[in-house]
Amino acid sequence: MPTVAYLIHDAELGQVEVCPDSRARRFIFRVRDGVLRATVPTSATPADVRRAIDSLRPRLGNALQRCPVRHIDLDYGIHTDLFDFTLALGAGTRFCVAATPDGTVLRCPPGTDFDDPALQDWLQKVVVRLLRRVAGQVLPPRLDRLARRHGLTYTGVRIGSSRSRWGSCSAQGSINLSCFLLKLPARLVDYVLLHELAHTREMNHGPRFHALLDRITDGQAAACEAEIKRYGTGL
């Protein structure tokens, strides 16, 4: 999976995530969760990326306007196989997180102004904290089961809130996972976990890595890779 190698900060367009990809033959710009992402050939320099941004500036600006960061209000929710979260009006004067048989609910005081930018910033932090907490409970056991099933070993696992990649594996075999994995269907979560586990044996994306990944995903690696591109990290 192409990962974010560096960021370009543009005064008009904001942060641009740059993802070099050995398979890319041209510049491809997409908006994910309100952030512009550029997939570029590995030979492209930051200056090349800036020139591409300048040449496409009006179109990129329009794309960002069509795909803003999602507003968190009473209509907001995350409903996936591994995480269910909603907001609801409460009776009190304070925000309160409650666990229910159906998932997690953030109860909000009556009259809450969801258009307040400061509140939106706080709500996003609350959702990320909840995602990290649940991910810390759900993902490590899932990773351990998959590792045991396929005879793969790792030295540790850490849950973070990376918006640039679903997961990564260090040269020492330690695996980092983004809490935003919980936004994915369970089968794609398992694909990411297997992808990183495969790196404990093959640290590159060469033929042996792809052969291993294809074997442990029962031949579904290419299909999962294509499907996961439809999802973005972040809220």
Number of H helices and E strands in the chain, helices first, is 6, 11
Domains of the chain: 6-66 (no CATH), 77-133 (no CATH), 139-228 (3.30.2010.10)
Helices assigned H by DSSP within 67-158? 117-150
Per-residue pLDDT of the chain (235 residues; tens, 9 = 90+): 557 788 888 878 877 889 899 888 999 998 876 678 899 999 999 999 999 999 999 889 888 776 656 789 998 899 999 999 999 999 889 999 998 888 899 999 999 999 888 898 899 889 999 999 999 999 999 999 999 999 999 999 999 987 768 999 999 999 999 999 999 999 999 999 999 999 999 988 899 999 999 999 999 999 999 888 777 666 6
CA–CA distance, 54 with 26 (Å, rounded to integer)? 15
Q: What is this structure's pTM?
A: 0.72
DSSP 235: -
Backbone angles phi, psi at 178, to 5 degrees: -85, 140
Strand partners of residue 134: none
